[in-house]
């Protein structure tokens, strides 16, 4: 079973991915991880990718897909895999669709976790981090006992630059432009399964299980 997990920053993909790979015995595949692994293992494809990475250039979609395809041939992927963060664009999705039949595979389902933008902004901008022990809090979902003071060590809490309202809005805009078209792409292929991500973690996972149990 090959599953793709889509969703904007703040949708909770990481938490849901952990549950999916554990309960369905799937391998979690991040293209960043497998690119670094291919380079470290000095594979032929990894050496090609390294040339682009050393120049600070993006690795071409065709090469990324070849490395993904090579990873899916590994024995631990026999039961299937879960992709998070890949494909990022419709072009990558098309390359992937063309490559998978060569290894007797296909995309079985695409889970699209959908969350209202106002909710995403609240989730992402509400995070606070301790300046001393790096403990993480959230102003709404996991607030400290004393405002802006860490429960564990008494350190000051601060908002990271990438959690600022301006940065969060930019991240969401990039997702909408680059990745959201994948929703339409996979909907046309009849493999898209929308998931209401506005609910709590358990309710979201219940929706996901209902989809995966039918695939």
Give dist(CA 129, CA 138) in Å, integer.
9
**For residues 125-145, b (16+ Cβ closer than 10 Å) or e, as one string?**
bbbbbbeeeebebebeeeebe
Please confirm, yes or no, whether 171 is among the known catalytic residues.
yes
Please confirm, yes or no, whether 73 is among the known catalytic residues.
no
Please confirm, yes or no, whether 88 is among the known catalytic residues.
yes
For residues 145 and 151, is the Cβ–Cβ distance under 8 A?
Answer: yes
Count of C-beta atoms within a 10 Å radius of residue 208: 23
For residues 81 and 74, is the Cβ–Cβ distance under 8 A?
Answer: no
Please pick, among 48, 88, 187, 209, the residue that the annotation labels catalytic: 88
Please confirm, yes or no, whether 160 is among the known catalytic residues.
yes
Give dist(CA 44, CA 109) in Å, integer.
31
Please pick, among 71, 123, 127, 128, the residue that the annotation labels catalytic: 127
Please pick, among 43, 50, 169, 171, the residue that the annotation labels catalytic: 171
Please pick, among 13, 71, 123, 128, the residue that the annotation labels catalytic: 13
φ, ψ (nearest 5 deg) of residue 5: -110, 115
Please pick, among 160, 176, 177, 206, the residue that the annotation labels catalytic: 160
The secondary structure of residue 150, as a DSSP letter, is -
Active site residues: 13, 88, 127, 160, 171
């Amino acid at each position: 079973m090959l599953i793709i997990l889509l969703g904007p920053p703040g949708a909770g993909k990481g938490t849901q991915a952990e549950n999916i790979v554990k309960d369905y015995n799937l391998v979690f595949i991040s293209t960043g991880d497998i690119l670094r692994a291919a380079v470290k293992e000095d594979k032929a494809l990894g050496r090609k990718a390294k040339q682009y990475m050393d120049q600070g250039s993006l690795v071409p979609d065709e090469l990324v897909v070849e490395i993904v395809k090579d990873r899916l041939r590994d024995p631990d992927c026999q039961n299937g895999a879960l992709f998070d963060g890949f494909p990022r664009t419709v072009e990558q999705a098309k390359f992937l669709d063309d490559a998978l039949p060569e290894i007797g595979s296909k995309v079985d389902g695409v889970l699209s976790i959908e969350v209202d933008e106002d909710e995403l902004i609240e989730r992402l901008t509400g995070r606070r981090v301790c300046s001393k022990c790096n403990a993480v809090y959230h102003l709404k979902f996991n607030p400290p006992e004393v405002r802006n003071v860490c429960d564990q060590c008494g350190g000051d809490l601060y908002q990271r630059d990438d959690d600022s309202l301006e940065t969060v809005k930019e991240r969401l805009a990039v997702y909408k432009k680059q990745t959201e078209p994948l929703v339409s792409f996979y909907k046309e292929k009849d493999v898209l399964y929308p998931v209401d991500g506005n609910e709590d973690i358990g309710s979201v996972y219940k929706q996901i299980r209902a989809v995966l149990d039918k695939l």
